Amino acid sequence: MAITIRPASRADVPRILSFIHALAAFERSPDAVTATEASLERDGFGSKPFYFCLIAEHDGQAAGYAIYFFNYSTWVGPGIYLEDIFVEPELRGLGIGKALLERVAAIAVENGCQRLQWEVLDWNSPAIEFYKAMGAEFLDEWRNVRMSGAALRKLAGTINAVSSTPLDARNAPSSAQDDKV
CATH number at residue 43: 3.40.630.30
In 3D space, the residue among 134, 138, 141, 107 whose CA is nearest the CA of residue 120 turns out to be 138
Q: Which domain holds residue 147?
A: 3-179
- The answer to whether 72 touches 176, Cβ cutoff 8 Å, is yes
Q: What is the pLDDT of residue 163?
A: 52
Do β-strands 3-7 and 115-118 pair in parallel, antiparallel, or remain unpaired?
A: unpaired
Q: What is the pLDDT of residue 138?
A: 96
What is this structure's pTM?
0.85
* Count of structural domains within the chain: 1
- Dihedrals phi, psi of 134, to nearest 5 degrees: -90, 0
- The answer to whether 80 touches 71, Cβ cutoff 8 Å, is yes
Q: Is 112 left (phi over 0), alpha (psi -120 to 50) or beta?
A: left
CA distance 64 to 42: 21
CA distance 78 to 84: 19
Do β-strands 3-7 and 52-58 pair in parallel, antiparallel, or remain unpaired?
A: antiparallel
Q: What is the pLDDT of residue 38?
A: 98
The catalytic residue positions are 131
pLDDT by residue for the chain (181 residues), tens only, comes to 799 999 999 999 999 999 999 999 999 999 999 999 999 999 999 999 999 999 999 999 999 999 999 999 999 999 999 999 999 999 999 999 999 999 999 999 999 999 999 999 999 999 999 999 999 999 999 999 999 999 999 999 987 655 555 555 444 433 333 333 3
Q: What is the pLDDT of residue 174?
A: 39
Distances (CA, A) of 61 to 10, 21, 55, 57: 17, 18, 10, 5
Q: What is the pLDDT of residue 161?
A: 54
